[in-house]
Structure 1
Amino acid sequence: MASSLTKDAAAQATPANGGKTFFGHPRGLATLFMTEMWERFSFYGMRALLVLYLVAPASKGGLAFAAATGAAIYSVYNATVYLLAMPGGWIADRLWGPRKTVAVAGTIIMIGHFLLAVPFEASFFVGLVFIAVGSGLLKANISTMVGHLYPDRNDPRRDGAFTIFYMGINLGAFAAPLVIGTVGQSVNWHLGFALAGVGMALGLGQFLLGTRHLAEESSVVPAPLRAEERTALLKKASLWSGAAVVFYAIVVATGSFTINWALWPLSLAGLALPAWYFVKIRRDKDITADEKSKVTGYIWFFIAAAVFWMIYDQSGSTLTVFASDNTASKLFGFNFPSSWFQSLNPLYIMALAPFVAMLWIKLRDRNPSTTVKFAYGLIGIGASFGVMMLAQAAAAGGAKVTPLWLAMVYLVQTVAELCLSPVGLSVTTKLAPAKYAGQMMGLWFLAVTAGDCTAAIIQLVAGNAFLSEASFAIQGAVAVLAGVAVVIWRKRIINLMGDVH
């Protein structure tokens, strides 16, 4: 990607800038932008192929899982990525610092993608574990380093920097299905996964070459573990790891192991962990009554977000299966692989995000409250599955429906996302107790985990009926009703939020 570099060292006020800027920002932003763009390229490219490869018959080089099982594997994998973002932030804070953590994360992700490129089932699932762990380590910390480039938190360029960084995410996500999806579906699955590994290698190389442009703070471990803490941690980690190894060794030895032995425990853990964390925060005697009230208010937003992500993240599972099995891969005389549908959301985001941001500014005093924006997001995401219900009805009897159905679904979901996701990040920082300021952002990611785990449970219980009109109707109705509930009880939620609006 072309970048705009100009001589403007004096205006940066950053330690390691090399005398150049990136769109008027510190040169380190270019390093982080390109690293994140290539990491997202690898992540979304692999994701575009994941369910298609899992459910493809063995005669076509796939793993021949049932559609519901393949979708559940995808949902649990995606949930695990966000689940591991919280310990990823902890590792940077207590052990390695953000810069080292991201370097290690990039290496782990790259290895994971190349393991997927090896044509063995065991290697494939080990590779998924590597990618999930690496993505969890990288996710929060690379964003943290963007903030480090601006020592003055009131620097007017700070918000613009995150906007540019966000564009890198969407550029990578847009290009990945077009490149990796095409190669994986049209040439060879494993070659597609290898291309994802090459993408991560490019991102890692960019990061290592550009570290001299990053802020020194990115190398600092903010709260290093004391020796006794490190020892206690190793003991606990060894105990739990050993117990898991022994348990699964017994399951395997008795011939009882199936993929469900991994999917069910992870799905239930993804629901139990955020519940436990909320109880822990609410019972903490160090937080004030006002902070407890705000946490109670935040639970409403968390549950709403979990319902939202339950549907939204099925773009890579349920909608991908529908695209492959029930949607024509030809439009206006042009043929394309079904994985290309995965490029619609980032394309819509890049096209619509500036207009939505300007709309909120233009409304000013009439700008909807946080609760109302959440309601818009929930009703919108529910409506998208209403459209899917109609699309599934149109596909009855094995008919291939026009790609315009999915194009409409992704458009509705993107508008809903723009109403809820940025607002969710903002309200999380505003309602967080002082003691849990950093950890609450990790808790926001757990809303994605909870939503994806709920989707996995639905897919496991419903079987292939998860693609039925009734499934789309029920899930869509739940989201719409959740949005209506937020509107009805918005005054109560606002009262719990105290001085936050």
Structure 2
Amino acid sequence: MASSLTKDPPRTSGGGKTFFGHPRGLATLFMTEMWERFSFYGMRALLPLYLVAPGGLDLKPTTATAIYSIYLAMVYLLAMPGGWFGDRVWGPRKTVAIAASVIMAGHVTLALPGEAPFFAGLALVALGSGLLKANISTMVGHLYNGPDDPRRDGGFTIFYMGINLGAFAAPLIIGTVGESVNWHLGFALAALGMALGLVQFLLGTRHLSERSSVVPKPLTDAERRSTLRKGLIWLAVAVVFYSVVGGAGLYTLNWALVPITLAGLIIPIMVLTRIKRDKELSATEQTRMTGFIWFFVAAAAFWMIYDQGGSTLALFAKNSTNTTVLGFDFPVSWFQSINPVLVMALAPVLAWLWLALNRRGKEPSTVVKFSSALLLIGVSFLVFLIPLTMSGDGSKVAVWWMVAIYFAQTLGELCLSPVGLSVTTKMAPEKYGSQMMGVWFLAVTAGDCTTGLLSIAGVDLNKTGVVGLEAAMAILAAVAIFMYRKKVKALMSGVR
């Protein structure tokens, strides 16, 4: 598929064919991410439904939402050590290959019946996804001639289309099999998808930048020993703690969920503080880190609402949405294909628009794009209030309400996510290349952990009061970001 999309000359500066006018290596990364997202989003579409299903784990909706949110949070939290491995141990290219193997093993484990294999499989998928995410995005950045290459934002948007192509197909295939045939067979199909992605990546690595094989700052022998010692100490503490709790008969699921959730809120603060205080950073890098924190906070607020599309909205769709269109009744998991198909339709339009406006000197700044994203995500939950109210008497609402909500969220996503990936690679201090991509993903962790903490506390996120409060918060944040746009732009020190 990649080769059929690859055009002949012109050639890039690094040699080789182009991919929609971009470096040929983008095709390899596009296809790798597409298959990884096929496996990830297929499993994710099944996850909240499996958690509440009588034939699944049969949990309460609030518990299912908490598990779902914390699982997503861990995927993005682990992107930070994933970036660290790329920077200090294996290099981005090797890290991605290992990560894909771990993800595949996780989906295979999920395909086994039983509660223990289920949670073990989730842990493996989260670990592998964390290793992969930061490094594959960093490799996209390596394909371009520095942060001022005008193709860069467009390249990340095309890469983002690969994510959504896999995400679109996954619920239709994996979701249908999981819901209609067997949950665990659906998880097995996710493993097959990741296997295809791994093979494609290994065959196409020759097209990637040589920088992707380099370990930017290898660990010294002393650092390796210190890191291993600290890791073993923390592992021993966890084993002893949970052995005591379990032995005393006190263990419940919250003993795992609450510490993870709190860690997901505390660790991002600690990481940003540590980088900001690093005296090895230049004055320009320090200033840019201050500007980056603005984007980080805005992204956390955005993802807190956006990621409820797979939990709060999915459970609402299961219970309160009519899934019959023109006489055809479709699986609930198919709702998860609405967002990616909209992204595929709208992403090339926005990629073209940003480039066209850039040529005229009129492209909106990154700050304005982020402000627009927050406004749109707030509007999506204002729209959500309407079907929530309509279904209050137990009636089911039309599918088009879900389409309208996802449409607003998709526009917001395209203003924030690919742009955020790009600006992170531009603003990253040299010392923290791949790690900064992991820091960017910590914004998702913070947002999802906030949702998880609310669910653990028993808050029903499908109540009009809660939805309205979240909508108001996002819109107020959008206004605040827009009002301070000149200040934030100055902190970016020349980065657009």
Same fold at TM > 0.5: yes
Does the C-alpha gap of structure 1 residues 97 and 362 become closer, same or farther in structure 2, counting only changes over 3 Å? Answer: closer
CA distance in 2, matches of 1:367, 1:423: 12
CA distance in 2, matches of 1:492, 1:31: 39
Q: Is 1:454 matched with 2:450?
A: yes
Residue in 1 that maps onto 2:248: 254
Give SS of 2:457's match. Answer: helix
Answer with 107-116 or 197-206: which moved more.
Answer: 197-206
Residue in 2 that maps onto 1:476: 471
Contact kept? 1:93, 1:222, Cα under 8 Å: yes
Answer with 143-152 or 73-82: which moved more.
Answer: 143-152
Residue in 2 that maps onto 1:388: 384
CA distance in 2, matches of 1:72, 1:248: 20
CA distance in 1, matches of 2:430, 2:202: 34
Q: Is 1:172 matched with 2:185?
A: no
Once the 2 structures are TM-superposed, how far is the Cα of residue 98 of structure 1 from its aligned partner?
A: 2.4
CA distance in 2, matches of 1:158, 1:430: 10
CA distance in 2, matches of 1:423, 1:99: 23
Contact kept? 2:84, 2:434, Cα under 8 Å: no
- Residue identity opposite 2:174 in structure 1: I
Answer with 183-192 or 21-30: which moved more.
Answer: 21-30
Q: Is 1:401 matched with 2:400?
A: no
Once the 2 structures are TM-superposed, how far is the Cα of residue 360 of structure 1 from its aligned partner?
A: 3.7
- Residue identity opposite 2:337 in structure 1: S
Residue in 1 that maps onto 2:323: 329
Residue in 1 that maps onto 2:89: 95
Matched pairs, number: 494
Residue in 1 that maps onto 2:4: 4
Does the C-alpha gap of structure 1 residues 6 and 392 become closer, same or farther in structure 2, counting only changes over 3 Å? Answer: closer
- Residue identity opposite 1:109 in structure 2: I
Once the 2 structures are TM-superposed, how far is the Cα of residue 14 of structure 1 from its aligned partner?
A: 5.3
Higher RCO, 1 or 2 (CA under 8 Å, sep at least 6)?
2
Does the C-alpha gap of structure 1 residues 67 and 492 become closer, same or farther in structure 2, counting only changes over 3 Å? Answer: same
CA distance in 2, matches of 1:288, 1:23: 37
Contact kept? 1:311, 1:475, Cα under 8 Å: yes
Residue in 2 that maps onto 1:444: 440
Residue in 2 that maps onto 1:354: 348
Give SS of 1:172's match. Answer: helix
- Residue identity opposite 1:92 in structure 2: G
Residue in 2 that maps onto 1:416: 412
Residue in 1 that maps onto 2:257: 263
Q: Is 1:273 matched with 2:270?
A: no
Out of 46, 51, 58, the residue aligned to residue 43 of structure 2 is: 46
Contact kept? 1:40, 1:169, Cα under 8 Å: yes
Does the C-alpha gap of structure 1 residues 431 and 137 become closer, same or farther in structure 2, counting only changes over 3 Å? Answer: closer
- Unaligned ranges ≥5, structure 1: none
Out of 74, 78, 94, the residue aligned to residue 68 of structure 2 is: 74
Give SS of 2:215's match. Answer: coil
Q: Is 1:297 matched with 2:291?
A: yes
CA distance in 1, matches of 2:78, 2:196: 23
Does the C-alpha gap of structure 1 residues 100 and 420 become closer, same or farther in structure 2, counting only changes over 3 Å? Answer: closer
Q: TM-score, normalization: structure 2?
A: 0.91
Q: Is 1:56 matched with 2:50?
A: no
CA distance in 1, matches of 2:2, 2:131: 28
Out of 59, 64, 73, the residue aligned to residue 65 of structure 1 is: 59
Contact kept? 1:5, 1:21, Cα under 8 Å: no
Contact kept? 2:377, 2:409, Cα under 8 Å: yes
Identity level (%): 62
Residue in 2 that maps onto 1:467: 462
Answer with 38-47 or 264-273: which moved more.
Answer: 264-273
Once the 2 structures are TM-superposed, how far is the Cα of residue 32 of structure 1 from its aligned partner?
A: 3.0
Does the C-alpha gap of structure 1 residues 30 and 7 become closer, same or farther in structure 2, counting only changes over 3 Å? Answer: closer
Once the 2 structures are TM-superposed, how far is the Cα of residue 21 of structure 1 from its aligned partner?
A: 6.3
Residue in 2 that maps onto 1:376: 372
